[in-house]
Each structure stands twice: as structure tokens, then as C-alpha cells.
Structure 1
Amino acid sequence: MSLSEMDQLYRARKLAMENSPDQMLPKVLETSASLYISEGTTPQLKLELARFTPHLLLDVITHENIGSSQKPFIASQHLNCLWSVCRNVKDSIAYKYSVLAFSASYPLLFELVAKTSNQEMWDTMQQMKAFILSKWNTTYPLQLNSDDNDPFLNDRKNIGSRLATAKFLSEIIIVHTSRNGNNIKAGPISISSVPDGHPVISNKQQLESEAKKFLDILLNYLIEEPMMVSSVFIGILNCLAFIMKQRSQATMRILSGLLKFNVDAKYQADDLSVLNYRLGKRFVERCYKNFVQFGLKSQIIKNSGQMASQHMKLSKISQTLHVIGEETKSKGILNFDAEQVENKMAAKDKQKYASLRRRQMASKNGHNASPSITSVNVGATSSTPQPGQTPVDMNPAEKPSDNVTQLLMDLQRYTMSKNNIAVFFNNSPVAIDNSYCAIYSLMNSKNSEQDMAKLPQDIMIKLCSEAFFKTDTTKMISGLSIVASRYTDLVNKASQQQQQQQQQQAGKKRKVDQHDDGQSSTKKVKKEEEIELRAAQGENYEDEADEDDYYDEIKDTNKNDVELIKPVPMTEDERMKHLHRIVQHIMSAKDSDESSGITTNMGKDQNPLEKVKLLHWNNKESWLHILTRLCTRGVSHQDKMSELIRQILYDYFMEDFNGRIGMALEWLGEEWYYESLAKDLPVNYTNYDQWSIKFLEGLIPFLENQHRRIFIRLMSELPRIEQQHIDKVRPICLDPARSSLGFQTLKFLVMFRPPVKPLVKKLLEQIKAEDSTIEEQCNSILNKYYQ
């Protein structure tokens, strides 16, 4: 068959689609698959067939006229062909359709394995799953362009494969997550359909944990990807909507990740125009809004229980995005200032990303790179890598040093050489010594020559977590029993030694007391004889004897008394100075990189303060939580110390109000909440009113029209608004250059915060009487919303 005859296959597929697809399409698929695996097929023809066959398989699996009972057998029949295309053909079209076809086939194959216990089919599925996952954060099957200075250009060339992988991950998440009993529409295929103790799909808990990891991969891409890749963002949001609909127990995890997805923080690519960047951003915002509206209307995002907080926040975000969309629609998408919209990454940041991404992609594309023991191979079912299986590389920010890499490679070689051992090397219930190594080591520590203490703590945590994840429960319990036996033996030995020491000390004490009693009685007899002798000679030493006894008594008393030194109280200035230093150290922790510091500071002198810092700030705003609680509840609520902390926070927010408005709202919310708990009635909001007004007064002179979203968010999310807060918008409304900002903010408050409508009305009537030039703008709001 020649390349010209490929047209016959295309015509046959078209004809089968139009006439009897349930009978003709599987035959065309069988013909193309047999030609692909044939040894006589030329490389050029094999490439065409590699593109054609997965695409046709996808059409067959998704065709509505083909019976659902027939589809699992068609998918299983062509699974090996699909795996061959995915693994061997480095073509973006062939790889994309092979991943999409496997994604559509996976639920059918999973159900077939659950019913037939086909071990070979399950192993092939696991190998293909691990291979696809390992290519998630790479440019595969495209080759890396190492001459390009843009580290993100290759990613944007491979969007089709990334979207197909995202679809595949979402399908596995749905299948590997248990189906809720009350969710009738969840579908028949899930991990719940597999009975306990299945001979092939045995570790159901491991598969469910794997599904959570895959969900984190999708959420982390939304959060951590620095560039505006709108197509991938929209695709992932759509996948998350399907996951949330079919597996409602994942909703909280999805919403928590979605709240960290900051569309405004994504940078513009160098090869994209400002208009394309603006369009892409607008499309993502619209998809974000539609996602939230879908969850609210279908009542998947509930306004009750633990989800109430996410419901409130996402509702506000959706309303804000709706207002932005309506305003953009009224003005026109082409009506914008390019300088204000442009948002490109700094050159130094891009250089840092460039070197890291090139090393990562080169190693994953197989450029003579050795696999790392720290790679997370979530698809493997055993400790040995399967054919065609590539481990998933670690985060580039967590790349170990060369020495650590060598240690990990040595450990990998050692563990891989012992992978057939079914029992522990060292199962003795008695430890060779009282060190932690001897207690916990289940290897032959004398011959392994593996010093785990040299590895950084973050890598040790990854190794341990992966070991726990992949270890059989029975084996884990057996290992813990050995460790417990060693602890019990050492505790018993220590108790016996302590008793022996106490007995020896008691015996020595008795001997010393007997010796002291003998010496004191002998001394007393001698002293009495001396006094009698001198008294006979006419001398009186009675006073001298009493004086000696007195000094002996004082000497014995001083042995037990300890002089107490009371510290000198700090002055007010010293207290303020120390508090200021403490606050600065807490704030400086947000800029430090503790995880990398574990590796880079090894063997070097370390600041003593660094040793007591928290090593992992999972939430980058933990310092803010500490300081807001400190000024409201830690120190006196209204003294100089709390005012000092508030002033430092205020200065910090004013340095970059554009990027720190969310943190400022969190601080003011804490002030309001604490004062709301006051026991005296009515509640006194002294500190909240003072600092919220001060923040508005400091912010308003710097606000421009491009800060519309920030100011609307500030005014809409303030926990308490009084007339004095509304009056602060007066200078903006009276400023001809910024009046649109003020009136848009007031209009937003009237629409979405009804309790402040009377306050806004009062302000509009006042400024309307003051300045006749803004009368039309005031009347537009008053006539529309106050009639």
C-alpha cells in the first residue's frame, strides 16, 4: 500500500460514517491498525497511519450509533496499537490523538478489567498512564529548541498535547474516585464498582490517593504557571467543572485551589501582542465566571457548612468579573491603553526560568539524563520501572545539588538491586545500639553504605511519603512492629540501668553517712575532752566553742540557699524597640527561601535566629496572620505596642497597594471581627474605623482610573461601611480626571451592597448640589436605583 492509497482509508472512513457506522467503522479501524503494526509498512506511511488510527479509534469510542457493549472490546483490541503509537511515534498530532483516544477508552477498559481480571491489559494501561503523566510538564513529542531565549515558547507550541493530557487526567480522577451514593448521575464506572480483594485492581486506596495527586497537578498548573496560556487555563477549568459535577466530594479541594488562581498575575508572552494578551485574559476571566455560575446554579457550590466561605468569595469574584465584562462590552474590546495592559516578565526572572526549564525539559526528553530517585512515579505499580516508563521529574525549584544527586543515584542503584527481596533485611527485635539509625533501620545498615543523614530534609520527606504510599499495609505493620519491639527492649534496658544506678547511689550514700557520723562523734568527744582539760587549767573556751558551732551552722545553711537575682524591668522605649525588631523578623520571613536554604546552608555558619524559624510557610501570608492576631489579641488592644504593629502594617500595604490590597482587607477584617466580639453594648469599632479611614485617606490621592478593580474590591469587601467611608469617595467624584472611577464604585455598591444605598444617596445629593458639572452622572444613578 502506498501513501496515495491513504486516501482510500479516508474515503472509507467517510463512507462508514454515513452508512452503517456500527458495522463499517470497526472494520476500517481494524484495517488501519493491522497496516500500522505490519513490518512491511514504510516509515512515511507508518507516520500517516499513526495519525489516522488513534483519531479513528476516538471516533468509534465516542460514536453514538455504536453499541455501548461493543465499545470496551474494540478499545481492548486496539490498546497495544495505541500504546505503540503513543510511545514510539514522536509526532504531535499522533501523540495528541493517542492520548485523547486512551482518555475516552480508559473508563471502558477499567470496567472490563474489573469484570475479567485481565492482568496483561491492566499492566499495559498502567504503563501508558505513567508514560503520559511523565510528559505533562515537557515539550514531548516536540524537540526542545535550546537556542531560543524564551523558556516558555516551546510550551506554547505544545498546547494540543497538554490539553489532551489534562483531559486524560480528569478522566482518571473521575474513574479512580469513589462515587457518592446519592449521586445518581455519577455514572456506573468508578473505583466503587470494583469489589474489595480484586485479584488485579487490589489497592483501591492507592488509586484514590493517585486521583488526588492528579487533581493537584491540574490545580497547581493554574496557580504556578507564570505565563498567560489562555487555551490551557480554559481547558483545565472545563475539566474541573466535569470533575466537580461527577465527583462532588472533590469540590472543596477544587474551590480552594481555584481561589489561588490569580488571572491578573499571569505575564504576557514576548511573542504575543497586547491585544492577544488582553483577549486571552478576557476569555479566561469569562470562563472563570461561567465555572462559578455553573457551580452556583447547579448547587454544587453550596452556601452552607464548610463551603460557605468559598461560596461567598467566589460569588463576589463572579459579580466583579460580570461587571468588568459588561463594561468591556460597552466600551469595546479594542478600546484600551496598551501601556496599562502590557504585563511582561522582567528579564532577570526570565533568565532564571530559562536555565531551570531547559535542564528540566532536556532531562525529560531523554537527552542522556539519568532518572532521579526523587521522581514521583505515581503510575507505577512496582518499584522497578516498566518498559517505556519515565519517572516524573521534581519541581525545578527543588533540584538537588550535585552531591545530593549522586547520593540519590547510589540509593537508587542499591534499592533496585534489592527489589526482589520480600522480607526485611534486618528484622531483629533487638537494636544493636540506642541510636535512631539502629532502631529504625530495616536494611543491613553495616553493608548498605547508604548514609541517609546526608540528604536534605525536603528530599527525605518526599522519599518517606512515596515509600509509605507504595508500601503494602501488611508489610508496613510488620516493620512498625519490629521498631516497636526495639523501642520496648531499649526502654526496659534503660529502666534496669536506672534502678541499678539508684541502688548503687543509695549504698554509697549510706556509707558516706556512716563515715560522717563516725567522724563527727569522734570530733565531738575530742572537743569535749579539750574543753574539760583547759577548764581545769582555769581557761574558759565555752564562748569559742559556741562560736565555732555557729559558723558551722551558717556554713551548712549556705549550702542549700541560692541567692535570687531579680531582672530589671524594661523601659517603655526598650519594649517598643524589641517589639519593632520582632515584627521586622516576622515580616522578613516571607521573603526568605527556607526550602532552598536547607541545601545551600549545609556546612556553613547559620544565623542563630534561622535555627528557630519555621522551616515551611505553606501559606505565604502566615506572617500576616501572626501580626494581625498579635495587634488585636496578643498585646493590649489599644496601647502603643498594638498601634506600632498597625502602623508597620499600614506602611507595608501603602508601599504596594496594587499588589497587597487583599492582605489589607484581611487585616481590616481581623480588626472588625475582634471588635465585634466585644462584650460591651453597643459594639465599639474604634480601631477598625480609625485604620480603615486612614487607609482610604492614604490611598485615594494615588488612585487613578486604571485602579478601578482594586478600589471596587476594597469598597465592596470592607466588612463594615459607614457614612464616613462613603464620604471618602467625594474627592474622586469631584475630580474631572477620576470621576468615572468614583461613580463606577458607587454604582457597584448600590447594585451589590444594598445596605449602603441610603449612604450613597446622601453623598450623591450632596455632591450634586456642590458641583453642577456632575449633576448628570449623579442623576443617572439616582433615577435608576432610587425610584
Structure 2
Amino acid sequence: MAQSPEQVVDQVAQLDAARKLVLGDAALYPQIVNGILPIVGANARLELRRWGAEFLAETFASPILATSQKQQLAPTVLNSIQETLLLPETDNAVLASLIQTCASMYPLIFRHTVNHPGDNKTWEMMSAVKQEILRKMDSFPCSVKICCIKFLQRVVQVQTPGLIADPRRPDQNETSLAVVPRNHALLSLPQLEAESSGLLDRLLDVLQEETCNPLIVNATLNCLAPLIRTRQSIANKIIQSIMDFFPTKHVHPPFTPTVRVGVKSMERTARALLFNVMKKNPGHPLMGKMQHYIERLMQSRLETAEDASRKRGPPAEPTDGLDQTKRARLDAVAPPPLKIPPLPAGPTSYDQLFTLTQDIGLSSFDVKQLPPDIVVKIAIPLLSQVNPALLTQAVDAIRNRYETITKEQNHKRQQLHQAATAAAADDDDDYEPDYEPEDIGDNGPGEAAAIAQEEAELEPDLVSLGPFVLPQPPPLSEEEASEVGRSAVSRVFGMIDAVDAASSSSSTQTKPQQLGFARLAGSTFDREAWVVLLTRLATRAPAGLEIDDKVKAGSAGVKRHSTISDSIRETLYRYILEDFRARLKIGITWLNEEWYNDRVRMKAANQERTDADDEPTVTLYYDTWVLRLLDGFLPYLDSKDIKILVRFLSEIPEVTIAIIQRVAGLARDPERITLTVQALMYLVMFRPPAREMCLNAMEDVYQTYEESRPAAGKVLAKWRPQALPAPAEQASTNDSSNPTQPAPSTEAQAST
């Protein structure tokens, strides 16, 4: 039933009395709020809805109402707010108050959801209200949009990690993502953080629009200040966006007093914001940039004011000579105009186009008869004494001639084309089937030849140039191509050295991201990218070509020439051995690529083989180059290089018998016995496929080198005890090795 205006006035008076009660005693807020919600709900009259929205905004922004009581009232009020926002509400006061209430309630609802994971209804309702506000934000008027900006600021502040002041009292900490457990049932940390990042970008987009509203910009800047102060993770991004904002670039003439006041207000707000940041944090890393930005703001304001008050400037001087009205005043003498002769009738050549003199002797003189050095000596002094005004007249005359010739040629081409089209149409109309094909063939080419001859006569001799094509370069020989490939490889190695020098000189402390084995070789431009590019050029690029080369070389009886891949491999080998301790990772990457390439080519060869064919020959590079690299740096290892040797043996894709034999050969040096035993023990423990080979090598070292028995015996006692001699045999061996030591007595043996 509709209410009369008198009843509405009485209800408003009663509601004002209730407001005075809660302002006097904050304990009455829960009772009053629960009592007025049915009266000021979505179905009430506009006056009641307006009063209710304003009262709710005051309630949740009141400092005298405890936060715990606000948190209890928030779920109850949220349902009424959602119902009102779903209506086609057009009253700005109601919308602004409701959005302010949502901005105050959002941290309370968020904290309530953190503490009550089972209450999914309240969080879903808050999410629906948030999405409704974000969806309608751009269509709201300016006064309501300012409240939406405040709501966005509170959402970003809540959904961004904050500082934990006291971990022992989580209820006293600020509401942020830091108080949300990782395994929360309703709140997903990555989703909330991504949403806050998007909303922050939406806030900062106001500073990047082509035309801006000073009220919206000032509201945004004022809302960004708390985010800079409380959220260090996004503070630098916000400050950088503010420093990219210049109010004078976002306004367009005419510069009315209203526009000037708006620009001045935006400049003062931005300047005050940055002054506050510099005052609170004097050691801020962006201190210098903020000071420079403030100076630019002041300078741009001064330039705008100066341009607005500046008088109209004088007109520019004429560019084509002196103005006739200023000759007497400037006391200047204009050059005499050139007498341009008309072009002769008929086709025009280049010499006629550029000839401006009527002297027959000069126009008929052939400059080619003079030596080039004399022409240069004559032309330079003449050009230095040429009158600029006369030169401008001559250039303009030639330009006019060229444009006239071009227009005439285009006009005649159009006429000829129209005549040919009309003649073809007449021929089609007069066509009779009794005509012979020879008559048509004779008339068609003759008419076309006449048209082509007429066009050729009308065109100038040298004006139309044909297409210019560069001649093809001579083919490279095999030796030249190999030399070019080697120089390209050397340049790539130079890029690796340059990247190493740049990375060592930089002071960054961020660790590079490891992209893995399946990375793209050109995805980055760091040292690892160039290394992967080189290794894959050496292994994958020529895959499948070596067999054809060997067949051709074998059939001709000539030794196969070295390919670009062999050159890259040899250069890589020398590059790694120059500093193998620092470049061991490059060698491991290269050997992994070689092993992978060998397996792919073997698989492809097995698939192409038929039963009648012989087994194809596939050149395997991994075994060759791993032994060469190992032989290259093993002589330089000492007892302290156990990490280098173990890393190499653990990260290469395959450990063969030849590799184990070379590692075992280190035991010939008594100082490197420990190095050998530790390397073999690591392979025994962590590379099961190579365990038997390593145990055989360990047993051989134990039997061959007496100094290795204490260390190698411990390994064999655990993994292969049968390889050790019996205790009696070992004692006799010890006795034979120490003849001067007396034998133990029977009592001692019994005690043992």
C-alpha cells in the first residue's frame, strides 16, 4: 500500500530521533539498525531509501562503534544493499551512500570470511555486490564514480599482502591477504591477488586517459596515498604511474578559467602526494625522480600560463624571395626573375628538361670532354657563388616543367585508352560470323602496333627508366663457404664473451631463470641462449647430412672436408678448456645435446632400414667428444677439484667404460687417489646403471694401488665384500709388508 506524504514525513522524523539516540549511545546501534532495515529497504519510498543509505554509511564509518559490532552487523545489512543495487536505481544520493557503505564493509566481510570458512553465503553475496558495482561503475555520474574509486581502493588494499605487526595476535593485524591461511576453503590467494592487480590497473588508467576530469583525477590521487603508505609491494608502481601523469597534456584548448583551475588542482594534489611520500620516507629509491617530476610540474604550469598570456607573434617571412610590400622598408634588392624558355614541341629528353639557357653555345657544349678533376675545380667555386634566390627559381621552373609533361602524358594515355575501348566496342557491334579469323588477326595487331608506336613517340627518350636489378653475386666455393661459417662461429663466441663481461660488471642480484632442456635457443639474449644456439647448430642443424657426404666422398675416393659442425665442435672444445672450471656447464650442455642428437639419428636410421638393406652407418659424436673433453682437463685436476669431477660425471647423459677407465687412471698419482675413490663412490651410489662398471674399476684400483686400499676398501666392503681378501690373508699380507713388526702373541689373539 502506497504511503501518503504525511506518513513519510512522520517516519523521517522518527528516524531522525533514532539517529540522535545512537549518536548519544553507540550501544544502541545494533538494535536501531536491525529495526530500520525493513523500513528503508529496496521497496521503500525514495525519501526513506535515501535516509537509510545515508544512515548506513554513517554507521559503518563511525569511529565510536566497535569493529566487532560492525562485523556482526555487516552480513545483515549486506542483503538489503544487494537488493537495492539490483533495482534500476537512478538517485545519485542513494547510490553514493550505498557504495560508501560497501567500501567500509568490505574489510569487515573479508575478515568475517577468514574467521568463518563455512559461511560461504556471506562471501558470495559480497562478491555479487562487488561485481555489480564494478559493472556499473563507468555508467555512473561523477559524484557516484568518486565513491566507486574509494571502493576500488579498499578492495585493492584488502586483497594485497600487508605487514604482520604481531603474529601472536592476528585479530590486531591489518586486514589483508597476509591474514588468510593458505588452505582456506573459500578464499584463493592467487585469484584474489590477480583481481587486486587488475583493479589497481583500472585505478591507474584514469591518469593515462586522453581527456581527464579533474574531480576524478583528484579522487584517484587521494585514494592512492593510503596504498603507497601501507602496501610496499605496489608502492613503486603507483609512484611511477603518478610521475607519468602531466595535467597539461590531458587538457585541450580553449584554456578557459575552469580548465585552468582544474589543471592547477590536479597539479597541487599530485605534488602534495609526492611531498608526503618524500617526507615519510626520506631514503626512498625514487627520491630523485620525484623531485625532478615536481620541478617539471612547476615548469609546465609556468609555460602554460606564459603561452596563455603571450601576444600573437609576427608573421613569418616569405620563403620564395622578399615580399613586395617590404622591399622599401628592408632596403633589399630582389634578384631579377629568370627568363625560362618554353619547351620545344614533341618528345622531351632529359637535356631539354634541365636546359634553362637560350645560349646555343652553352647548350651544345659537351661537358664529358673535360677531365673530372677540372670539373670539380670549376663546380665548387661556382656553387659557392650561386644566388639562392636564382637557384630557387631554377628549381621551381624545372619542377613545373616536369609536372606539365607528366600531366600531358597521363592525359594522352587516357585518351588512347578510351579510343581503344570505343574501337573494341564498335568491332563487337559490327561483328558478323561470316568473317574469317585472318581478317580479325590482321586488324587487331596492326591497330595495337599503331597505338604502341604513337605512345612511344609521345613519351620522352630518357624520362621513363626501366627496373634496375642488381647482378647476382658469384657462387662461393666450398673453401670460401667454410671460411665464412668459421667467421660466423667466431662472432657468436665473441657474443658469449661480451655477455659474460656485461653480466660480471652488472650489480644485479637476481638469479637468472633456468629455462630447461626444452627451451627455445633464441628465447633470451643471455649467455645461456648463445651457448644453446651454438650447441644446436653443431648437433641438430647438420643432422642427416653427414651420411650423404661420406657416401659421396667414398664413391669419389676423396677425403671428406670438415663441415661447419666440426668447426663449431672444435671451437667449443678449445673454448671450454681455456677455463674449464668456469665453463664446465657449457661442456655439459654440449654433451647432452650430442647424446640426444646421436639417439635421434639412430632412431631415424633404424626406421628407414629395411630387411634387405645393410645396417646404416651413423656417426656417433658423443663418445668421441666426451673422451676428448675428459682427457683435456683431467691432467689439470687436483685433490680439491672433487666437486668439478663429480658434477661432470653426474650430469653427462651416459657413463661408459672408457670414461670410468680414465677416471680410474687418476689413481696413478698418489695425491689424487682420494679424488678417484670419491668420484667412483658417487657414481656407485647415485648412478645405478654404471654401478657395476664403477665397482669393477674400484676393485682394480684396490688391487693395483696399495695407497688406495683404506679408502677403496670401505666402499668395496659395503657394495662388493667378496672382492676383499679374507682376514687371515689380509693379516699375512700386512705381516709380509711389515717384517720388522713382531707377531702378536696367543693371549693377544685370544683377547682379540
What TM-score, normalized to structure 1? 0.37
What TM-score, normalized to structure 2? 0.39
Q: Which has the larger radius of gyration?
A: 2
